[in-house]
Chain A
Amino acid sequence: MFYLSLFFQYASQYLKTRLTYRADTVIEILSDLLFQAVNLIFILVVFRHTAFLGGWNRDEIIFIYGFFLVPYAIFSSFFNIWDFNDRYIIKGEMDRILTRPVHSLFQIILERIELESLFGAVTGLLVMGYSIVNLGLTFTWYDVLLFIVMVFGGAFIYAGIFISIASIGFWSDSRTDIMPMMYNISNYGRYPVNIYNKVIQFVLTWILPFAFVGVYPASYFLNREEWYGYAFFTPVMGILFFGIAILLWNAGVKKYRGAGN
């Protein structure tokens, strides 16, 4: 309860500052939109040359992309920890965090929220809407609930992986450049995993399970029954990876060495 009210306090403060820098915010939203449009155009271009990709047609791939945008938007709004090592460990901001009576990871999440990224979820819903119409899909009431569960599962997988990587910073004070690489790998989850070779499929399923953010859960809504097992595993993977990340983080904080003055 306390954490929730703290969240709203920070969020309202965030909106207040955002409103004073309006132009900035608009430009950020527009550049996000542009980025998403480029990705969409890429899919469209690919399907001018082929009708199927690993057994999936154009509209299904577009649906997967649209679905992926929703958990990704939640992740990038609330888990901006890609620069954690630079900002908090090397610059020593972690000292300040640790002198306050709130869980350290939660404080960092609060300080780094970027609510305008949630706009990506709207784009995602629109993209999905477009492909739903083309594919003539129908849904029942509990599909909405499942959708929410899957989205949060996916966002937690993302968060878990990135928090785990950020935690490495507690042990090694050398700068790690894994973060940008991880953003690249995460993009593979937007496409059906069966188009990749077996090793990459395995990695995307069990080691860096980005496939659970896009293709696996989306296959449920596309009625691809052969993937249902994976689809329903999405929330489990989310809880598992997020849990591991929190444990890693808590262990890391004990190893925090601080920055010199």
Chain B
Amino acid sequence: MNVIEVQNLRKEFNSYTSRPGLAGAFRDLFTRNYKVHAAVDNISLTVKQGEMVGYIGENGAGKSTTIKMLTGILTPTSGSIMVNGMNPHKQREEFVRTIGVVFGQRSQLWWDIAVQESFRLLKKVYRVSDEDYNRHMGHVIETLEIGPLLDKPVRKLSLGQRMRCELAAALVHNPPLLFLDEPTIGLDVLVKLKIRKFLQEINEQYKTTILLTTHDLTDIEALCERVVLLDEGKIIYDGKLNQLQEHAVEGKQIEFEFLSEVPRSSLPRVENIQWEQKDATTWLGYINGDEQMVSRLISDVVQRNPIKNVRINEVSTEEIVRKIYEEGMALT
């Protein structure tokens, strides 16, 4: 079953450019130079129930705009959206009861009141029965370890504590679909791990579908099998994360740290290898080939030169993504 079905979705914003100088400002009063800019440019996307999808892209690539259309906050310029079988903007009030939303940079909780009072208000807003609330939230509170925080006002919580409470608040009505917009921004590693573990748990237990945007690609590596890559409002990759890695990386990188300075001439001259000097005693070898070639190269180099350290570097998703954006790599 498809939880999210999006076809040719497009969102345009009008922005105006101001003319320079006083005379220009005066002309702006009467006629403005409008420029139409498509923040989301004809994207199509389907997400099945129980999937965890990483939605990544640079700042301004259109991630937040897409999420805001999927959650019914913004009206699309054109295209069709069906989420949980409803049109988010047209049936907003009915629709939002079936989703949970966490905006990492914006609080859902009331600043001045205790966390549990916030939960109680949300329970009322979402019309959750006492039974459902106790059964479900008891578990959420326990897993996120926020029990001791419940009677503190939100403004007294640390960022990590607040974020866990935000997550719990988004789940008061146990929604089958969860949108997380940068949920781990600014959090330390321990809290990140806790949140990831929790997301995996609810995904397994309730088959909750999760759409996640983040700048921290380790989140995506830990959680999502599928990634959607966005650039200038267009989807440039939609598929499995490990395939993205295979596609994007030609070979491996080996770092040789020598005992003394080594000239380029004493390194093996083989096809498929490119050398790059990192510092006086360190060389990086980019090799385009399989494991056998790697070990042959290492033995070759080590035989000729006294060596201090050798490291085979896995290319991280972050690097892949950086490469994609920098080099405009075409992916299909």
Contacts and interface: CB of A to CB of B under 8 A. Distances in A.
Contact of A5 (B65, B94, B117, B124): B124
5 contacts: A92-B106, A95-B73, A96-B103, A99-B101, A254-B89
B47 to A, nearest CB: 18
Interface in A201-229: none
A258 B121 contact: no
Given A95-B68, A95-B106, A101 B124 contact: no
Contacts of A102: 93, 125
Nearest to A107: B125
A175 interface: no
B92 A98 contact: yes
B121 A2 contact: no
Interface stretch (A10-18, A39-47, A65-73, A185-193): A10-18
Contacts of B13: 257
Interface of A: 2, 5-6, 9-10, 13, 16-17, 92-96, 98-103, 254-258, 260-261
Interface residues of B, number: 35
Contact of A2 (B71, B73, B94, B127): B127
Contacts of B113: 13, 16-17
B25 interface: no
A101 B93 contact: yes
A186 B93 CA distance: 34
Contacts of A254: 75, 89
B281 interface: no
Contacts of B101: 99
B64 interface: yes
Contacts of B92: 98
A9 B119 CA distance: 12
Given A98-B72, A99-B73, A100-B96, 10 more contacts: A9-B121, A13-B110, A95-B103, A98-B96, A99-B71, A101-B127, A254-B89, A256-B73, A260-B64, A261-B181
Interface in B110-152: 110, 112-113, 117, 120-121, 124-127
A6 B124 contact: yes
B55 to A, nearest CB: 14
Given A17-B113, A99-B99, A258-B73, A9 B124 contact: yes
Residue of A9, A94, A258 ringed by the most chain B CB atoms within 10 A: A258
B108 interface: yes
Contacts of B107: 96
Contacts of A100: 96, 125-126
Interface string B9-38: 000010000000000000000000000000
Nearest to A260: B64
B75 A101 contact: no
B223 to A, nearest CB: 21
Contacts of A98: 71-73, 92, 96
Interface in B132-190: 181-182
Nearest to A93: B106
B89 A101 contact: no
A10 B121 contact: yes
Contact of B74 (A6, A101, A257): A257
Contacts of A9: 120-121, 124
A98 B92 CA distance: 8
Interface in B265-286: none
A130 to B, nearest CB: 38
A82 to B, nearest CB: 20
A13 B109 CA distance: 13
B97 interface: yes
Contacts of B74: 256-258
Contacts of B68: 95, 258
B242 interface: no
Nearest to A91: B106
B36 to A, nearest CB: 13
Contacts of A261: 59, 64, 105, 181-182
Interface string B70-100: 0111110000000000000100111011010
A93 B111 CA distance: 13
Nearest to A100: B125
